[in-house]
Amino acid sequence: MDEPKNQLDFNLAADDLLEFPRDLGEEGWFQFHSEQKLAFQRIENKFGIVLNRKVRLRLRGSDVELAGKLVLDSLLLPPPHAETIRLRLGRATFENTDIEYCHAVGD
């Protein structure tokens, strides 16, 4: 009867190893990051805002100027046909239509 072989006994040719996809995690991450960046650019262009950057803004009907990083209020991107989006700056949440003025300040 033949002796059982362990993993180190198998002779895998180098060509066989090339058939496996390389570095799927890194490639997938870069593709996700690229697509996410394009989606944020489309949102910024459509709604006239800057996302994921420090801004100073004032909401309509308020005398208080808010400052901080402007982000989407949801992890889900809005659908392409959305007319408004929920935003968050610190603890304040509001619609893009509530913004009286907004400008980026530094990075």
> How big is the chain by its Cα radius of gyration, in Å?
25
φ, ψ (nearest 5 deg) of residue 37? -60, -45
pLDDT on residue 31: 86
Higher pLDDT: 15 or 82? It is: 82
Q: How far apart are CA 65 and CA 22, in angstroms?
A: 50
The pTM of the full predicted model, rounded to 2 decimals, is 0.69
Number of domains in the chain: 1
pLDDT on residue 3: 64
pLDDT on residue 26: 74
pLDDT on residue 29: 81
In a domain, 38, yes or no: yes
Beta pairing partners, 62: none
In a domain, 99, yes or no: yes
pLDDT surpasses 80 at 9: no
Reported confidence tier of residue 96, pLDDT bands at 50, 70, 90: very high
What's the average model confidence in pLDDT over 24-34? 79
In a domain, 84, yes or no: yes
In a domain, 8, yes or no: no
What's the average model confidence in pLDDT over 72-88? 93
In a domain, 10, yes or no: no
CATH code for the domain in which residue 44 is found:
2.30.30
